[in-house]
């Protein structure tokens, strides 16, 4: 159901953030979608996602500006339904991005820490191409 994920960090300047995480911290860039998203490998299974600040996102450097996202390996609607049966409360409906490449569902842990699920067509392609 949940398979991997990342810590998402909201940033005010994508170019500056990518340079910092790559050059200063030495992380490897895995993927970048212009100024919309960058994913870096921190080693040991930890991935960092950089996302630009939006009108709906927390202000970079404030509480909530770092969240944890979980990749799902089955349809997100099914995962959401399962988690709802277990008592997880979601904040709104599943959201589709404009390009149809990801679907997101937002929720919080019992302390109010922001979390999200992500169904990614890119992840699905990578997972299906791996030897079984």
Structural domains of the chain, ranges and CATH numbers in brackets: 2-129 (3.10.180.10)
What secondary structure does DSSP assign to 53-70, as a single string? --SSSPPTTSTTSEEEEE
pLDDT of residue 122: 67
pLDDT of residue 127: 46
Helix (H, G, I), strand (E, B) or coil at 92: coil
35-83 pLDDT, tens digit each: 999 999 998 899 999 999 989 888 999 988 999 999 999 999 999 999 9
93-131 pLDDT, tens digit each: 999 987 788 999 999 988 788 999 999 876 555 444 445
User: What pTM did the predictor assign?
Assistant: 0.76
5-26 pLDDT, tens digit each: 999 999 999 999 999 999 998 9
119: exposed, middle or buried (Cβ count in 10 Å: 0-12, 13-18, 19+): buried
Q: Count H helices, E strands: the chain?
A: 3, 8
């Amino acid at each position: 159901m949940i398979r991997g994920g990342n810590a998402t960090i909201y940033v005010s300047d994508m170019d500056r953030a990518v340079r910092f995480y790559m050059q200063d911290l030495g992380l490897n860039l895995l993927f970048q979608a212009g100024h919309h998203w960058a994913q870096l490998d921190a080693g040991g299974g930890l991935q960092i996602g950089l996302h630009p600040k939006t009108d709906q996102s927390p202000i970079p450097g404030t509480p909530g500006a770092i969240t944890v996202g979980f990749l799902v390996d089955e349809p997100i609607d099914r995962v959401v339904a399962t988690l709802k049966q277990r008592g997880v409360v979601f904040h709104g409906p599943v959201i589709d991005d404009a390009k149809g490449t990801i679907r997101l569902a937002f929720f919080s842990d019992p302390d109010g820490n922001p979390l999200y699920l992500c169904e990614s067509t890119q992840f699905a392609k990578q997972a299906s191409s791996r030897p079984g």
